[in-house]
Structure 1
Amino acid sequence: MELKPIGIIHSPYTKKAQAPHQGRFSSKKSHIIIFDEFLEGLDGIDKYKHLIIIYWLDKARRDILKVVPHGRTKKRGVFSTRAPVRPNPLAYSVVELLEHKKNKLVVKGLEALDGTPLVDIKPYWADLDSVK
């Protein structure tokens, strides 16, 4: 399996302690830079107010299988939590698209650290992406 970053995330968070536990509760802006070879893939992105941003938590530990979730006192397996530490540290955030200029997206609601590799972008569709 090969995973290739399509861009890089620039955010105001340089340390894990600065990032919110859930990006959707933050009003801070992040800038996503798409690498030139993937620029064509942004065609049509302006039609969407919200996007799903998938990224690789490159600074997260990959050897931990049990954690104490935020706000809890007992350990659980990482697959039953939203902890960033996991064997394959993929993460996603639903963000608000504020601006799109060439290879740069300005978004709100992302908790990724500055310099985080971007794996994918998908449009958020409430009818498909939420459970009723």
Structure 2
Amino acid sequence: MEKDNHFTLKQIGTIKTPYEKNAPYQPLYTDNQEFYILLNNEYVDGLSELKKFNYIYLIFFADRIIQKPEMMVSPPWDKGKKVGVFASRSPVRPNPIGLSIVQIKEIVENKIYTSGLDVFDKTPLLDIKPYIKDLDNKDNANYGWIKEGGSPPE
């Protein structure tokens, strides 16, 4: 019998966006509204040297997901197609953890100003990791099932 493991994650900050009720499916780099991370003061030293990177990964807790996850989902850009949740970018997942890549615009004390984000205002931030060009860019990445009938979101 498999044991159900539970564990705790710490919120290290809060993501601030203009989105109260609706957020885009993917980060919109052209959205010029104000987006920033408000990092808890105890983690500010962890920002040392971060501003030397152009992009970062933000790992967050999608705390407003209320739907029960299903293993088969219909992506919004390919009407009618069903794929496994793990072959999708659906925010409704067994663990409501989100991941976005954003551009760093400026870091001032415990605030990281970024390009557009695809999350609701006051979303709990779990972690920040630098996006490193040669490690995170995979030249042979593809579109998987998406090119079979749909188009990836812009």
What is the TM-score with the length of structure 1 in the denominator? 0.91
Moved more, 69-78 or 116-125: 69-78
Q: CA deviation at 1:77?
A: 2.1
Q: Does the residue aligned with 1:71 lie in a helix, a strand or coil? A: coil
Q: Which consecutive unaligned segments of at least 5 residues does structure 1 have?
A: none
Does residue 77 of structure 2 align to residue 37 of structure 1? Answer: no
Larger radius of gyration: 2
Q: Which consecutive unaligned segments of at least 5 residues does structure 2 have?
A: 1-6, 140-154
Residue of structure 1 in register with 2:134 after alignment: 127
Q: CA deviation at 1:10?
A: 0.7
Native 8 Å contact 2:29 2:115 kept in 1: no
What is the TM-score with the length of structure 2 in the denominator? 0.78
Aligned length: 130
Give the Cα–Cα distance (whole angstroms) in 2 for the partners of residues 26 and 117 of structure 1. Answer: 23
Q: CA deviation at 1:103?
A: 0.4
Residue of structure 2 in register with 1:10 after alignment: 16
Aligned-residue sequence identity (percent) comes to 39
Q: CA RMSD in A?
A: 1.4
Distance 1:102 1:25, change over 3 A: closer
Which protein is richer in strand relative to its size? 1
Residue of structure 2 in register with 1:99 after alignment: 106
Q: CA deviation at 1:37?
A: 1.3
Equivalent runs, 1:38-77 vs 2, <5 Å: 38-61=43-66, 63-65=68-70, 66-72=72-78, 73-77=80-84
